Every structure is written in structure tokens, then in C-alpha cells.
Amino acid sequence: GAVVSQHPSRVICKSGTSVKIECRSLDFQATTMFWYRQFPKKSLMLMATSNEGSKATYEQGVEKDKFLINHASLTLSTLTVTSAHPEDSSFYICSARERVQGAYNEQFFGPGTRLTVL
Amino acid sequence: GEDVEQSLFLSVREGDSSVINCTYTDSSSTYLYWYKQEPGAGLQLLTYIFSNMDMKQDQRLTVLLNKKDKHLSLRIADTQTGDSAIYFCAEKKSGGGFKTIFGAGTRLFVKA
């Protein structure tokens, strides 16, 4: 199957700093990328959906000024957590989907990034 | 309540069958999925079923869909220790950008 990578896999930062997480589709063109946040014992929470070349669509309750998403190319999307605070500590997972060709298009998931804010 | 619900924990003995259950709320969902997540890793698609199907079998995996009750199950035959992981049920909404909504995940623990 297609491969999605994330970098870094783990990051520790001080409160108040910004952190950028990269998501890359390695062998396909991802017209749509999704960013999720995973809480312990809770479902993956969809944060935002981004289509290449356009602004991301954020889910209700997700601050777009705090979680900046850029999908500048068909293989790269970035999530920047600005002015991070300890409550932003979480496991962030991206997924990517190719251009919708038919009724079914699989989302391929990255391995996730563990963010710890001290 | 949550769109997709599943129990949080299941423990089975090696060699037994595991059955992980899930309920969802959107009757117009087009696809339903089972994903597997191993520790510290992302999600791996195990199998999926289209909403007009009742059953799908893929080697040791059997997916049953009861559309009337909005109930989905995943049966793993001859469960192995390597099957220990978190299993997520998910549904793809038919509208609203075809978002995929996930359950909280069921942690499967396989005892040797």
C-alpha cells in the first residue's frame, strides 16, 4: 500500500514555543490530507481537512490560529502548533488520500507524532 | 453520544477467536472500516465493508454488518499474540466531505 511519513516522530518543547509537524505522501499524490489528534482512550479527533492549494477546513472547536495547516504541494502538508501549551500534548496523526477516482478511496495514515509540551 | 462506539478492552487466549463489536449512528454511511494500531504507530487498514454487504471474509478476518441495528463486528480467528493491538472501527459519512469518523478503539490483549 501507499506510504505516508511524518516527521518528527517525537518532539518535546517548552511552553510558548511553536512546533511544526510534516506529513508526506511518499509514492502517491495526496490531493486531500487530514490531521487527527488522538487522546488516550478516546477516538481519533479529526482536526482539519486540507486540499492541496486551498485553505484547510477546520472542525468545530479547533482553533485555526493555533493549529496552522499548510498543504502547499501534492505530497506535503504541515501542521504548526503555535504557542504550545501542556494541554496541546498529544499524539498527532496525519492521513492522506489520492484524488477521488471512484466510490472508494482509502486513507493512508502516517505513523504519528508524539508532542510533549513542558 | 459518540457517532461510533466500541468497548475499550478485550482479552482472549491465544488460539481462540476474538470478536470486537462496534455500533454507529449514521445509517447513510457508505463504508465501514476496521483499522489496527500497534503501540507507537499509525493506523493500518485491516479491512473494510461496503454498506450494501452483510459479510466480508479475508483470511482470518470476518466482518459482519447488521445495517438495521447499525452494528459492525470484526472476528479474528485463531488469535495470535501478534494480534495484540488497538482496533478502531470507523465509518465514512456519505456527505459533509466524506469524513471518516472513528470509534475510541478496542484494546485487544492476547494471552499466551
Mean pLDDT of B93-110: 82
Query: What's the pLDDT tens digit per position in A58-76?
Result: 999 999 999 999 988 889 9
For residue A101, the model assigns a pLDDT of 55
A96 touching B (Cβ < 8 Å): no
Is the pLDDT at B1 greater than 60, yes or no? no
How far, in Å, are A1, A42, B91, B106 from residue B5 at the CA level?
28, 10, 11, 10
**Euclidean distance between CA atoms A39 and B104, whole angstroms:** 9
**Euclidean distance between CA atoms B14 and B10, whole angstroms:** 13
CB contact under 8 A, B104 and A43: yes
> Whole-number mean pLDDT of chain A?
89
> Whole-number mean pLDDT of chain B?
89
Please enumerate in sequence order all residues whose Cβ is within 8 A of that of B39, keeping only pairs 6 or more positions apart, or say none. Answer: B85
Read off the pLDDT band of A2 (50, 70, 90). confident
Best CA proximity match to A52, nearest among A27, A81, A23, A86: A23
Is A8 or B31 the better-scoring residue by pLDDT? A8
For residue A64, the model assigns a pLDDT of 92
Is the pLDDT at A31 greater than 90, yes or no? no
A93 touching B (Cβ < 8 Å): yes
B46 touching A (Cβ < 8 Å): no
